Structure 1
Amino acid sequence: MKHFIAILFCFVFTQSQPPLYTCRSVTTTIFSEAPLENIDATSTKGVSVLNPATGELQFSIPINSYQFQKSLMQEHFNENYMESDKFPFARFKGKINEKIDWKTPGNYQVTVNGDLEVHGVKQARSINGTVSITNSSVTVQSKFTVLCKDHHIDIPKIVFKNIAESIQVTVKANYTPSTASK
Structure 2
Amino acid sequence: MNKLLPLFFLFISFADIDTTQNQFIARQGQITFFSYTSVENIEAQNNQVLSLLDIDKQEIAISMLMRAFVFKKDLMYEHFNESYVESDLHPKANFEGKIINFDAKTSDPQTKIIRGKLTIHGITKEVDIKSTIKKIDENYLISGEFDVFVNDYQIKIPPILASNIAKMISIKFQFQYQPYED
**Aligned residue among 68, 93, 98 for 2:96:** 93
* Mapped contact 1:25–1:46 kept (Cα < 8 A): yes
Amino acid of the structure 1 residue aligned with 2:6: H
Q: 1:129 aligns with which of 123, 131, 136?
A: 131
- Check 1:118–1:106 CA distance in 2 against 1; reply closer, same or farther (3 A cut): same
- Cα displacement (A) at 1:135: 1.3
1:127-162 C-alpha deviation (Å, 9 max, x unpaired)? 110111111420110100010000000111101111
Q: Distance in 1 between matches of 2:12 and 2:162?
A: 42
Matched, 1:50 2:53: yes
- Contact 2:32/2:45 (<8 A) preserved: yes
Please state whether the residue corresponding to 1:7 is helix, strand or coil. helix
**Aligned in 2, Cα 1:87/1:17: closer, same or farther, shift over 3 Å?**
closer
Q: Equivalent residue for 1:23?
A: 26
Instruction: Please report the TM-score for the alignment, with normalisation by the length of structure 2.
Output: 0.93
Unaligned runs of 5+ in 1: none
Tell me if the contact between 2:138 and 2:179 (Cα under 8 Å) persists in the aligned partners.
no
2:143 maps to 141
- Note the C-alpha offset of 1:98: 1.1
Residue of structure 1 equivalent to 2:87: 84
For 2:12 and 2:158, the matched residues in 1 are separated by 40
CA 59–99 in structure 1, closer or farther in 2 if over 3 Å, else same: same
Contact 1:26–1:45 under 8 Å retained in 2: yes
Paired positions, count: 178
Q: Which residue of 2 aligns with 1:105?
A: 107
